[in-house]
Amino acid sequence: MAETQYYHHGRFQVQGGVIPDAITAFRTYGDLANPCVVFPTCYGAKLDDQLYMVGNGKALDPSKYFIVTFALFSNGESSSPSNTPVPYNGPYFPAVSYHDNIRAQYAVLTKVLGIKTVLLVIGFSMGGQQAYYWPVVYPDFVKKFVVICGSARTSPHNKCFLEGPKAALVASKDFHNGFYKETPQHGIRAFGRVYSAWALSQTWFRNHEYRYNGLYPDLDTFLREKWESRFLEAWDANDMITLLHTWQTGDISQVRDGGDLQKCLNAIKARGLIMPCKTDLYFPPEDSETEVSHLQNTAKLAVIDSIWGHMAGGSANPTDIEFIRDKVKEFLEE
């Protein structure tokens, strides 16, 4: 496994203020002489979780490409409420935007790794939204981008969904406005259960796929072991809330075109592959179709035909992983 590296930016301006010693965590795979591929994390992901796409024979092959995986600010590995010292610790950590993350990642690529150009930026969910930002913020630096179950702008519907799990966490009796001394068990468990209902499709639940071929005997066991446990074991509550803010405020048109999304999409020069899932409730394929129609023939649409909803774009289902792998390989070789 590649070693996690940490770049210290020093004093770093972000959307909500400043991080005195901002840190970006990253890993590299393959030979630096090969074309560079950037693969940032999504919500709920650490750098270890990126390995489902990285490896010999996988979508991102280290024998062909130099792959850099980046941890988002607030994911617990890069600078986050949980690991930043006073006076910016916990609920005092400033709000961070996607644009802030892209600037930080660009600094690592250019200052540390000496990258002159990036062949591909690829991401799932929040990682996909970051992939959209790259050709807007650095139009001459990126040649191609792949968005898997993501969007150029977080829709009102998506923002409304995110208010559900956020409210379940911050209103819990043990969250204490972010000043908790122990893990807010009630809040994080509630967050996980609300989040789960949107991550997978109605058909997936109706088919009792949550039993995972007998691994989970009933729905409650699935929710407790798969969703409550996932966030309780690996996540800090303030990190979760801060990262949700990054997601909710995603909008590439705020970087350059004053909120005119169509104009911003029209101006993208990099070639894109947009891969929504047919049953995704977060980022529905209709939104992706609209985005592709404004990309001036520089992008194509490849819908993941799956009942796995949003999770089809992640590592949940081998069939979907194979579909994504084949499409990405084809796109890389074009």
Are 144 and 166 part of one and the same domain?
Answer: no
Q: Which of 245, 273, 303 is the last residue of a domain?
A: 245
The confidence score (pLDDT) of residue 257 equals: 87
Tens-place pLDDT, residues 264-296: 999 999 999 999 999 999 999 999 999 999 998
Instruction: Give percent of the chain above pLDDT 90.
Output: 97
The gap between the terminal CA atoms of the chain, to the nearest Å, is 29
What is the CATH number for 177?
1.10.1740.110
Nearest one of 155, 148, 122 to 270, comparing CA atoms: 122
Question: Mean of the pLDDT values across residues 238-245?
Answer: 98
What is the Cβ-side half-sphere exposure of residue 157, based on CA atoms within 13 angstroms? 9
User: Counting runs of H as helices and runs of E as strands, what totals does the chain give?
Assistant: 12, 8
Are 162 and 150 part of one and the same domain?
Answer: no
Catalytic residue set: 125, 280, 310
The confidence score (pLDDT) of residue 296 equals: 83
Are 116 and 183 part of one and the same domain?
Answer: no
Instruction: Give percent of the chain above pLDDT 70.
Output: 100
Whether the pLDDT of residue 298 is over 90: the answer is: no
d(CA 159, CA 166): 11
Are 219 and 265 part of one and the same domain?
Answer: no
Are 84 and 37 part of one and the same domain?
Answer: yes
What is the residue-averaged pLDDT of the chain? Answer: 97
d(CA 288, CA 122): 16
Domains: count for the chain = 2
Are 91 and 27 part of one and the same domain?
Answer: yes
pTM for the structure as a whole: 0.96
Whether the pLDDT of residue 1 is over 80: the answer is: no
Are 20 and 114 part of one and the same domain?
Answer: yes
Q: Give 198's contacts (C-beta < 8 A, 6+ positions apart).
A: 161, 164, 281, 282, 309, 310
| 232 CB-contact burial (10 Å; exposed 0-12 / middle 13-18 / buried 19+) | middle
Q: Which of 245, 261, 292 is the last residue of a domain?
A: 245
Tens-place pLDDT, residues 37-85: 999 999 999 999 999 999 999 999 999 999 999 999 999 999 999 999 9
| In contact, 309 and 42? CB cutoff 8 Å | no
Q: What residues form DSSP beta bridges with 29? A: 67
Q: Which of 245, 280, 302 is the last residue of a domain?
A: 245
The total of other beta-carbon atoms located within 10 Å of residue 117's CB is: 12
Are 307 and 197 part of one and the same domain?
Answer: no
What is the CATH number for 145?
3.40.50.1820
| In contact, 238 and 75? CB cutoff 8 Å | no
Are 28 and 70 part of one and the same domain?
Answer: yes
Are 135 and 260 part of one and the same domain?
Answer: yes
Tens-place pLDDT, residues 98-114: 999 999 999 999 999 99
* Domain ranges, residue 187: 158-245
Tens-place pLDDT, residues 185-220: 999 999 999 999 889 999 999 999 999 999 999 999
Sign of CA dihedral 170, 174, 178, 184: negative
Are 21 and 134 part of one and the same domain?
Answer: yes
The confidence score (pLDDT) of residue 62 equals: 98
Q: What residues form DSSP beta bridges with 70? A: 26, 40
| Residues of the chain by 3-state class (helix, strand, coil), percent to 5 | 45, 20, 40
pLDDT-derived band at 136, boundaries 50, 70, 90:
very high
Are 192 and 273 part of one and the same domain?
Answer: no
